[in-house]
Amino acid sequence: MVEPIDGGAVAARMPVLARLAREFATDRPLAGRRVAAALNVTPEATALVRVLLAGAAEVLVVSSKPTTFDPAAAEAMGRLGARVLPGPDTAKEVLAFAPDLVVDNGSVAELWAAEPDPPAVVGGTVHSQHALGRVRRAGRLPFPLYTVTESAVKTTVETAHGTGQAALRGLIDAGVQIAGKRVLVVGFGVTGRAVADYLRGCHARVAVAEVAPVPLLQAVHLGFEVVGLTTGLATADVVVTVTDAERVLDLDHLRLLPDGAVLGGIGHAATEIDRAGLAAAADRVDPVPGGRRYRLAGRHLTLLEGAGGNHVFAGINPPELMDLSLALHALCLARLASTGPPPAGLHPVPAEVDARVARTKLAVLGLAGVLP
């Protein structure tokens, strides 16, 4: 009997994982393996947990962040047969679980680096740019991790297009008419480029501010106006920050914005836009759709927020795209379990794994025939 899954609407948008769940149930590639997965406890992650369990793993889910913890999803994971640790303070239990395989948000690597004699781990995966930074800073990594966050499928399809669409959605949810607006995109990495591209596609007038010359030159050649940050801020109707840095827009920057400007942050750092400084300096704060409106020296600025007051306003990556990277995790773990793991350290996702996920996605789109 097929287990009913919660978050049905989400699961229906994750056909690659659904297909993998069927294949894993037959092949049982994770039989006898203990998997510790540090995940945002969401309906999307439930679809991954279901695949791991179908592959016959014993699964311990460690909640990545309290802000993204969805109790209904935790319950669904539990019903499927996983143990869920809501956190915080999960270190002891994770060590005691002695996982063979891990899906890491950086916390496992930190734990294993700090522990004098941690249990042996076969290997695992690491899922965000932020997590990768934590792993790198953690020091000696005693097991191999595949960097799912840097895979071709994840960067060129999921991150770029998922966040491009999510940014538009966040702005439109907040009642912004995009066409004709002067939008300043701050940061032109993989994600900033997609955000700029999607906004231009909806007929915004997009300018780009960057600190690095190579992405800036690329922006020039993609036809974007490039500006200095202070110049760009002075004429922006909308500002979106998409950097990997902290304190990109401080209070002095915010004072440059024209009345009525709308701002949103996408970078992982909560301090990318100085929200605390703005809140302290504002003489009035009102809730508005999608965020808060601040009155600062007679001008009104709307700062967008994600669900639960998250500093990332465009956090809702479509499940259709998360389907891809979560499938990469499942296949990387299966590969670690079946073939000899690579040496300890960080490794790119094997090209065959990327290709298999892409192939499966094309197949569910009815496009298997385009490949030889």
Instruction: Give the interface with ligand NAD as residue ranges (CB under 6 A).
Output: 129-130, 159, 163, 166, 186-192, 209-212, 215, 242-245, 248, 266-268, 312, 314-315, 317
Q: How far is the CB of 65 from ligand NAD (least distance, A)?
A: 13
**Shortest Cβ 251–other proteins spacing (Å):** 24
Give the integer Cα–Cα distance in Å for 211 and 258: 23
Confirm or reject binding of residue 366 to other proteins (CB under 8 A). no
C-alpha 209 chain-centroid distance: 23
Residue 119, Cβ neighbours under 10 Å: how many? Answer: 15
Q: What is the DSSP letter of 66?
A: G
> Is residue 329 part of the contact set for other proteins (CB under 8 A)?
no
Which residues fall within 8 angstroms of residue 43, CB to CB, at 6 or more apart?
6, 7, 10, 11, 70, 72, 73, 76, 319
Beta bridge partners of 90: none
184 is in the binding site of which of ligand NAD, other proteins, none (Cβ under 5 to 8 A by kind)?
A: none
Identify the CA nearest to 64 among candidates 85, 40, 87, 84.
Answer: 40
Q: Does 25 bind other proteins (CB under 8 A)?
A: no
Should residue 369 be labelled a site residue for other proteins when binding is judged by CB under 8 A?
yes
CB of 248 to other proteins, least distance (A): 17
DSSP E strand stretches across 79-226: 83-85, 101-104, 123-126, 144-147, 182-186, 205-209, 225-226
DSSP 308: G
What mask, x for binding other proteins by CB under 8 A, covers residues 199 to 238?
-------------xxx-xxx-xxx---x-x----------
In the complex, the smallest distance separating the C-beta of residue 70 from ligand NAD, rounded to whole angstroms, is 17
- Which of ligand NAD, other proteins, none does residue 176 bind (CB under 5 to 8 Å by kind)? none
Residue ranges in contact with other proteins by CB under 8 A: 152-153, 156-157, 160-161, 212-214, 216-218, 220-222, 226, 228, 354-356, 358-359, 361-362, 365, 367, 369-372
